[in-house]
Amino acid sequence: MAVYVDAAIWKWAGHLWCHLLADNTDELHRFAAELGIKRSSYQGPPKTSAPHYDITGFERDRAVRLGAIECSREQIVAIFRRVRVPNGKSKR
């Protein structure tokens, strides 16, 4: 299983943000917990179709050091489409 991050380019609340995605939600939650990110920050069905966390550029740097794969915008969109949950049902 793998965990992925795109570039921290979205500005909000004084920080640059990016997406943290994984091949499955269990791995996503485990990795986010390892980063110290609260589960309440999780974004997934039914609010969004792809399970992910929005993380800051600082958290992104730590994620990469812990093994997250850096992705281009095109790559992260392809991953987003691959992990997307049809009809709000979680893939495991």
Question: How many C-beta atoms lie closer than 10 Å to residue 10's C-beta?
Answer: 13
Q: How far apart are CA 83 and CA 62, in angstroms?
A: 23
**Which of 10, 12, 26 is closest to 76 using CA atoms?**
10
Distance of CA 22 to the CA centre of its chain: 6
Q: Which residues in the chain land under pLDDT 70?
A: 87-92
Confidence at residue 46, expressed as pLDDT on a 0 to 100 scale: 81
The pTM of this model reads 0.86
Q: How far apart are CA 79 and CA 75, in angstroms?
A: 6
Confidence at residue 84, expressed as pLDDT on a 0 to 100 scale: 87
**The residue type at 39:** R
Confidence at residue 63, expressed as pLDDT on a 0 to 100 scale: 97
Distance of CA 54 to the CA centre of its chain: 6
- What would the two tokens of residue 19 be? 């997406």
Tokens 């039914």 map to which residue?
Answer: 46
